[in-house]
A and B are shown apart, each in its own frame.
Chain A
């Protein structure tokens, strides 16, 4: 598998095909005598912004401490949870449990659902 072409920046979907962001980084284990292997997928947080440079990473960390779900570190998803790698990467998780859609949930609760007509009535 070509990591850059097949994995990096690919969209992640959970068990119910809910979008949960993109592969923003990978954690690899490099052992003394074994092939390097991926252990975790990283989503969002400082990993993503570090790809632009430390300045962006610093700014995003500062903003994340002030506002939103107050999470600065990236979400780590074990590679063992990957079911298929195709058009999207399908994971054997529920998006809510991973923390990958914390921002989505925060914005939904704190902003969107306070505006009439946002569609929360059906959930009640």
Chain B
């Protein structure tokens, strides 16, 4: 029973990793521009993520290695270093976007411009990592993240055409604006299948001291957690389709996205959106920062762990301190977080093969997985995800140029 409570790892991974500035923005853009037509992209992203996250947890529980540690040991230092550089660059952009998202939420609530919030917000994120334990971050972010359920409430209150919603779950092509449609589809996939999610979940399983007995509950946690996040993203799309599309409002800036729930929930919608984004982006910022620090520490063999005091894992603490500091700088100078968000989604999609291909090998290696190696279903799904990730990698940048 206690294992089921570990659902919080699933929820925090999902709310911080799945539902964050990127997925909310892309879902809102999708709904505003194309109605329910892009729901299939969120569904596809969710299914892919369920499998990837489940495998991340299984790898850690069985092998007692995180993905990064296993990747270094199995593929050697040069390969690890290439993935380190790629993943760090993309994750760093995501971190800037998330810190910007927190700042923007505070701008909505207080009227004070988000560049002013860059330093205080970064300091708070850093402080939570400096003094907090993994359990505090995991449970705190999950609990606070539950406010995002308001997106689902808003969607239901608007009484959408449910048959139209259902139809949106199957891929269709739009009448016009195909490049823009393609770009948003790719961005949704890039926002959904974020590798840092896998690294975070895998490290979290080690932080929570999972072992082989967690293999079956991991399936439930990964499945439930990612479905929860996917569901929330779909709710955002549905609300945007009903609130923005009929009026012709496109979500080209965060300020427009703030109007998302004002139609469905007149009294509280504006504030619920701001608070939901605040907590979701906070969770995401913590998750991304930790994922980057985990990557360095686990790959190089340093001591690491959120439950350790910083003086006991100095290099790990040093990495997250530096990256949070560096991420705040562009925000102080007023860089548009939305532009960074869009770019980070496209780059995530473009670098996905780097993260997923090694994973396929690890999940079939008896040295790490013993009798819990992937079955044919999981392998088929990963193979499909690799194909999707190559397609995304090839088309994401041209699409950004043409349709972005």
Contact = CB atoms under 8 A, between A and B. Distances in A.
Contacts of B73: 9-11
B314 A104 contact: yes
Interface in B122-136: 130-131
A68 to B, nearest CB: 11
Interface string B74-99: 00111011000000000000000000
Interface residues of B, number: 28
B78 A119 contact: no
B367 interface: yes
Contact of B311 (A11, A48, A51, A112): A112
Q: Is the interface of A mostly helix, strand, loop or mixed?
A: mixed
B72 interface: yes
Contact of B77 (A48, A115, A117, A123): A48
A52 B300 CA distance: 14
B76 A117 contact: no
Contacts, number: 73
B78 A107 contact: no
B375 interface: no
B257 to A, nearest CB: 36
A48 B72 CA distance: 13
Contacts of A119: 309-312
Nearest to A43: B301
A118 B310 contact: yes
B301 A52 contact: no
B64 A9 contact: no
A77 interface: no
Most buried by A among B69, B311, B367: B311
A8 B76 contact: yes
Contacts of B76: 4, 8-9, 51
Contact of A112 (B64, B81, B314, B367): B314
Contacts of B130: 115, 117-118
A53 B71 CA distance: 20
A104 B300 contact: no
B314 A12 contact: no
Given A22-B301, A119-B309, 5 more contacts: A9-B72, A9-B76, A12-B301, A51-B77, A118-B130
Interface of A: 4-5, 8-12, 18-22, 24, 48, 51-52, 87, 103-105, 107-108, 111-113, 115, 117-120, 122-123
Q: Give 4 nearest A-B pairs by CB, closest first.
A: A119-B309, A108-B314, A22-B301, A21-B301
